[in-house]
Amino acid sequence: MLLVLAFAVSSCGDDSQGESKADLEAQLAKLPQHIEKDFRAGDTNNDLRLQDTELEVMIKEDFDAFDVVKDGEINEADIRKDEEKGGVGDKPGEKAELDVEASLAFIDLNKDGRVPLEEYTEHVDSHFHQHTDTNKDGHIDPSESVAFYKRLYSGGEEK
């Protein structure tokens, strides 16, 4: 699961942007198929928005997928094993070359070489909230996901 990228945001009720469900469906259809599938799987209340409780579950699933050696933390061994099996976060059909140390450093907030679930959650919460919930309304909608993955896959820098 790439929602990686995911991140704790506060729960939100009504759509503050006034987008209809049809508008949100049209935006969701613009996502790569595997990302749309992850978005729909994570959107357990089917409102076409990812909210805090939904994102918490997705973060845990991502962590479990990245913890390849199943020792309760992500470390270099996990990243190397993940690369050997094809990479959890790779774009489908492509094999990205990965700098293992840089990848670990990116998520290892306290720089001890180990990333337990709590630290991973903190990283993802911060990163996703900053770079994906661009309108700061407390949830991730399909248009924000489309914009995030366009930046991610085009190599564009996140502001």
pLDDT at 70 over 80: yes
Q: Are the beta carbons of 92 and 99 closer than 8 angstroms?
A: no
Residue 147 is assigned to a structural domain of this protein: yes
Residue 45 is assigned to a structural domain of this protein: yes
**Tens digit of pLDDT for each residue in 15-60?**
445 678 888 888 888 877 878 888 899 999 999 999 988 989 999 9
Number of domains in the chain: 1
Q: Which residues contact 21 (CB under 8 A, 6 or more apart)?
A: 48
Residue 12 is assigned to a structural domain of this protein: no
Cα separation values, 53 from 90, 134, 139, Å:
25, 19, 10
Domain range spanning residue 52? 21-154
Q: What is the CATH number of the domain that holds 130?
A: 1.10.238.10
Beta bridge partners of 116: 73
Which structure tokens are listed for 44?
């357990």
